[in-house]
Structure 1
Amino acid sequence: MNVLAWLAAILCILMVLIGGKKGARSFVSLFLNFIVLLFTILFMLDPNADPMIVTLIACAVISCINLFYINEVNSKTITAFISTVITIVILLLFIDIVAEKAMIQGFGEEEIEELSIFSLYIGVDFVKIGASVIIMSTIGAITDVAISITSPMREIYNHNPLISRKDLFISGLSIGRDILGTNTNTLFFAFFGGYIGLLIWFKDLSYSFGEIINSKVFSAEIISIFCAGIGIALIIPIASWINSYFLVTQRDKKEASK
């Protein structure tokens, strides 16, 4: 416990020294997001609760914390929030279909021995839980991409207030293209890094390449990576269009009121 406290203290000091007030807010947001995740899990355990609805609400709350609490309420955070919610809704519907068709719900053969002493009749829809897990794993990256697009678009607009909606949208897409590659790779290593131990175990079990690829645990992880990448790719045009529409519409209203 002392090690955890020291690591938390070091992280807090570094975030405050480097990020100032925003760094301090970012550190507090970590604990707020953790609390939201705990409540999300508790609500999902309720047999009457729909995991998809719970996930959508949790993602909206997490987005509010990451965008409005850290970066305050302004035009770029509002458009980033709207873009995030739209992307999450599309991704939830898509992942729900993929999780059911790919049959990644439940547990693989490698996990049966550990779970043999527990009852599997817990009244939870594992298809929706699987979709929720993927969404909750990517919400941070999606909000990060959203604000990374809307913030520079706002700067472009401030430096060129007469820019057309089309040109502003194209600028947003151009920014997004630079972000896309690095963020998808970040997610890939974030997901796969936690499964290095599993791959070593597969090797000790003398699994062939085909057996590894067809393993439920491995395929579920790959599908999670692909779905997360799709979410990041989707948020780019959505955030670019919403932000360009919002900024230009706001400008036209100001000109009309003069």
Structure 2
Amino acid sequence: MNVLVWLAGILLVLMIMVGGKSGARSFFSLFLNFGVIFFTMFFMLDPSANPILITFIASTLIGCISLFYINEVNSKTIIAFISTIITIVILLSFIVIVSDKLMIQGFGEEEEEAIAGLSLYIGVDFMKIGASVIIMSTIGAIMDVAISIASTMHEVFKHNPVLSKKELFKTGVSIGRDILGTDTNTLFFAFFGGYLALLIWFKDLEYSIGEIVNSKIFSSEMILILCAGMGIALVIPIASWINANFLVRTTKKTEKI
């Protein structure tokens, strides 16, 4: 416990040294987001609750904390928030359909021993829980891309206000292309790094490549990675389009005044 406190203290000091007040807010936002996730899990235990709706509400709260609390309320954070919410709605709808078609909900045969002494009648829709897990795992990356595009496009337009809506949109997409590759790889290695023990387990069980690819656990993890990549790819044009429209419209209104 003492080690955890020391590590938290070192992280706080480093974040304040680098980010100042914004760094301190970023540190405390970790605890606020943890609280949101904790209550999300608590509400999902209710059999009558809809995990998809709860996930959407939780994502909205996390977006407010991560964007408005850390970076304050301004045009950049508002646009990034709207772009994030639109992307999450599209992604949630898609994930629910994909999860249902692939039938990856529930437990795989590798987990039989672990759950042998547990009751399986817990009244939870595992398909919707799976969709919730994917969204909660990707919301951070989606917000990161959205705010990066919004900040850069605002800065570009500030130094070159004669750019048209089309040119601004192309600029946003160009910025997004540079972010897309690195963020997708980051998610890929984060997920596979966390499940390295699973791959070693498969090797220990002498699974063939075909058995690994067709296993429920591996499929669910691959869906997590692929859907996360899709979320990042989706938010780029959405954020670019909203930013381009906002910046050009605001300039026209200012000129009329």
Counterpart of 1:193, as a letter, is G
Counterpart of 1:23, as a letter, is G
Shift of 1:163: 1.3
1:38 maps to: 38
1:48 maps to: 48
Cα separation, 1, equivalents of 2:46 and 2:253: 47
Shift of 1:215: 0.9
Cα separation, 2, equivalents of 1:84 and 1:232: 10
Moved more, 102-111 or 131-140: 102-111
Shift of 1:82: 0.3
| 1:59 partnered with 2:59 | yes
Shift of 1:49: 1.3
Cα separation, 2, equivalents of 1:252 and 1:105: 51
2:120 maps to: 120
Q: Deviations over 1:169-207 (max 9, x none)?
A: 110000000000000000001111111001111111111
Cα separation, 2, equivalents of 1:213 and 1:163: 48
1:177 maps to: 177
1:205 maps to: 205
Where does 1:92-103 land on structure 2 (aligned, <5 Å)? 92-103=92-103
Shift of 1:13: 1.0
Q: Deviations over 1:197-244 (max 9, x none)?
A: 011111111111111111110111011100000000000000000011
Cα separation, 2, equivalents of 1:128 and 1:9: 37
Counterpart of 1:13, as a letter, is V
Shift of 1:48: 1.7
Cα separation, 1, equivalents of 2:169 and 2:202: 47
Q: Deviations over 1:69-93 (max 9, x none)?
A: 1111111100000000000000000
Where does 1:77-92 land on structure 2 (aligned, <5 Å)? 77-92=77-92
- Cα RMSD of the aligned pairs, angstroms, is 0.8
1:18 maps to: 18
Cα separation, 1, equivalents of 2:12 and 2:243: 33
Structure 1 residue runs of 4 or more that deviate by more than 2 Å after TM superposition: none
2:217 maps to: 217
Counterpart of 1:63, as a letter, is G
Cα separation, 2, equivalents of 1:117 and 1:100: 27
Cα separation, 1, equivalents of 2:41 and 2:31: 15
Shift of 1:19: 1.2
Counterpart of 2:244, as a letter, is S
Cα separation, 1, equivalents of 2:79 and 2:145: 12
Percent of matched pairs sharing the same residue: 71
Cα separation, 2, equivalents of 1:123 and 1:189: 33
Which runs of 5 or more residues in structure 1 are unaligned? none
Counterpart of 1:215, as a letter, is S
Shift of 1:255: 1.6
Query: Which TM-score applies when normalising by structure 1?
Result: 0.98
1:147 maps to: 147
Cα separation, 1, equivalents of 2:225 and 2:219: 10
Cα separation, 2, equivalents of 1:99 and 1:8: 37
Cα separation, 1, equivalents of 2:90 and 2:181: 21
Cα separation, 1, equivalents of 2:79 and 2:176: 15
Counterpart of 1:107, as a letter, is F
1:131 maps to: 131
1:3 maps to: 3
Counterpart of 2:199, as a letter, is L
Q: Deviations over 1:117-161 (max 9, x none)?
A: 111111111111000000000000000000010000000111111
Shift of 1:110: 1.2
Query: Which TM-score applies when normalising by structure 2?
Result: 0.98
Counterpart of 2:51, as a letter, is P
Shift of 1:109: 1.1
Which runs of 5 or more residues in structure 2 are unaligned? none
